[in-house]
Amino acid sequence: MHKAWFLTLALLVCAHAGGASSPPIGPSTSGGDLRYTVYFGNRPAGPVVFHSGPDGEETVSMKLEDRGRGQDLTLQLRRDGGSFPTREHLTGVDYWKNRVDERFERTGGKASWSNPPEKGEKTLKAPAFYITRSGSYIEIGLLAIALLHSPSHRLPLLPEGEARIEGVSSVRVEAGGKARDISIYAITGLAAAPLYVWMEGPDLFFGRYDGFVTVVPEGWDAAAPPLIKAQMQAMARREKAQEARLGHHPAGALVIRGARLFDPETRTVRPGTTVVVSGNRIQAVGRDGEVPVPAGAEIVEARGRMLLPGLWDMHRHLTDIDGILDLAAGVTSTRDLGNDTDYVLGLKSKWDAGGAIGPRVVLAGVIDGPGPYASPTKVLVDTEEKARAAVDRYAGLGFVQIKIYSSLDPKLVPPIVAEAHGHGLRVSGHIPNGMTAEQAVREGFDEIQHTNFLFLNFIPGVDTRTPARMTAVAEHAAEIDLHSEPVRAFLHLLKERHTVVDPTVTVYEDLFTGRPDRVIPSLAPVADRASYQVRRTLFGNGLPIPPGQEQRYRDSFRACLAMVKALYDEGIPIVAGTDSIAGFVLHRELENYVRAGIPAPETLRIATLGAARVMKLDKDLGTVAPAKLADLILVDGDPTVHISDIRRVTLVVKDGVVYDPAKLYAEIGIQPAVPTVARGRRAVE
């Protein structure tokens, strides 16, 4: 899984404790240090250790491992009596092993800070709280304490912004014969959604959970499930209230009139179109003035804006915040390609039932093998019996696809394929270590995830379990001749076997061309629409580039685009997926397909009807036609000519429920897209 800001914006919420002048923030241990364990999914990723020195210097260290990736950071800090940092120095490496060196200092009434890309200072009239950019809210426990001690439960942030805290629930937890009373709080002002923290009293940070990452004190693993359950219940209450405020359920028919309708089947546009929706189905589609308008219908005047079927994102690892981000961006259907089973079934259930704002979801279940680089999943198999049982369980839960991961023993691929196909399930995934993409296709893969695995078919000796599956492609993709006989033969095999490819090409744009002092490319077009505290986390996140290799890495990303175009030219089915931030990155993925040379109308077909057909749901989805499900988007502009206009969604209908994207974005602190009348237009380069 790769989510640029999921792993940097909300990944590490770690513990601090106080010296003589500052409150402690965690349960003490017999050794004097405070020790926490970080879990990625159900797997321990590593420890967080707090140490308080005799001179008031405090140190937080963490070393996390995730399939050969992971942070190794040390934070040295001092605090005042109100738990505000007065000095911080964060050093080490980030998730992708880029060097980190970040400093903050407050002396008297002046604060200063430096990190790539920030350097600044500010005169303060009152204390303000600094959050390190590279540490990804490593100070969340300390911030929670300061907020709880603030009379208003609000604090100004540096360099800009304001944080707020609110209590949402309380739980009594037990472990090892001991009990603690824990309160759950929501902190807002830092991210697009509340960040939840678990506190024992106002001065003791106990842990947190963000949908994928869990932090708990060592020895208190048993406390996590009841706390997570209570947190999810609180989130569900909040999300249900959001849906009631932001989702409009028409009392009668809904009529969209005067639209320019895009038909993915023919890749053509029909001006002057009226669409009638009744309940959650499309009742009629025809020319303006020729389609009867039901009495009492709600009428939306499109005024020449473009009407399209809802978009699909075919590669996701869903979290709660994705629901609003997706619908605001016009994504009404998604495919989850690996998640905690109970968690994702819960998401799907509440989104389907209208208990929260979110898209339709089709599910793929991940299967991996045990080992040091295994995926953070509970489904690890090492025998044929276990492999077939895993497939059977996924099928029984309503999953429609199996995703194989990199550590699976290649000898288990055939029985997994046979069992899955016997249930009518598709099979896709990474290429297990020891196999090539060609072998996987011949063994029955219906689909391959990620462009890098196509290149690795021609780069021998790469351990696909490790980050080498990315770095080897960054170093060598530009050397591979896509017109050579081996490549042409491989593409012919993909076409012959009707193998689908999920390129996630924007992942490689970020990894190969992202730099620490620049906003990552996938989010650069929308960064200025986010709050300052979110915007400052959107820099960097690319792979460390060896000196002198910057151009080689850029050329390798261009090779990824060329591979996508080669797939299209060969007639190999492509699906548009992101494996990244909801909504915004799908728009970038579509822009990259056009950059690669795929015509914009064809790109829109890929993201609508093409996805529905791959998932065998085109009877109900993928086009705007009578009797189909009412999943529609209205766009200000013409994305068949300027693909970037797909970013300007002005109305979304999902299952007959109407949403205003501007209001959805406002709910999470994001500015709406600029209307076409307020800007110039140009095609994607």
H or E element at residue 533: helix 532-535
Q: How far apart are CA 211 and CA 232, in angstroms?
A: 9
Is 556 part of a structural domain of the chain?
A: no
Residues facing 181 on adjacent strands? 172
Exposed, middle or buried by CB within 10 Å (0-12, 13-18, 19+), for 481? exposed
| Torsions phi, psi for 179 (to 5 deg) | -125, 150
Give the total number of structural domains in the chain.
1
Indicate whether 56 belongs to any domain: yes
pLDDT in tens, 358-412: 999 999 999 999 999 998 899 999 999 999 999 999 999 999 999 999 999 999 9
- Residue 180 belongs to a domain: yes
In a domain, 439, yes or no: no
Prior bond of 486 cis (ω within 30°): no
**Overall residue count recorded for the chain in this entry:** 685
Q: Which residues contact 232 (CB under 8 A, 6 or more apart)?
A: 346
Residues 613, 605 contacting (CB under 8 angstroms): no
Is residue 325 in a domain? no
Continuous H helices in 282-368: 322-328, 341-353
- Residue 612 counted as domain residue: no
Distance CA 631, CA 322 (A): 17
Domain range for residue 92? 6-245
Helix H or strand E encompassing 215: strand 213-217
Spatial contact of 407 and 366, defined as CB atoms under 8 Å apart: no
Instruction: Say what the pLDDT of residue 32 is.
Output: 65
pLDDT score recorded for residue 2: 37
> How far apart are the C-alpha atoms of 214 and 223, rounded to whole Å?
11
The pLDDT value given to residue 4: 33
Could you give the angle at the alpha carbon of 412 between the alpha carbons of 406 and 417, nearest 5°?
A: 95
* Residue written as token pair 């009348």: 677
510 CB burial (10 A radius; 0-12, 13-18, 19+): buried
Distance CA 553, CA 566 (A): 20
pLDDT < 70: residue spans in the chain: 1-32, 135-138, 676-685
Q: Is residue 162 part of a domain?
A: yes
- The reported pLDDT for the residue numbered 684 is 39
Distance CA 519, CA 541 (A): 9
In a domain, 106, yes or no: yes
189, 164 Cβ separation under 8 angstroms: yes
Cβ-contact 374, 410 below 8 angstroms:
no
pTM confidence score: 0.91
Three-state DSSP at 588 gives: helix
pLDDT recorded at residue 676: 59
3-state helix, strand, coil in the chain (%, to 5): 30, 30, 40
Instruction: Measure CA 350 to chain center.
Output: 19
DSSP-derived secondary structure for 650-678? EEEEETTEEE-HHHHHHHTT-PPPPPGGG
Question: What is each CA distance from 79 to 75, 84, 142, 286, in whole angstroms?
Answer: 13, 5, 10, 67
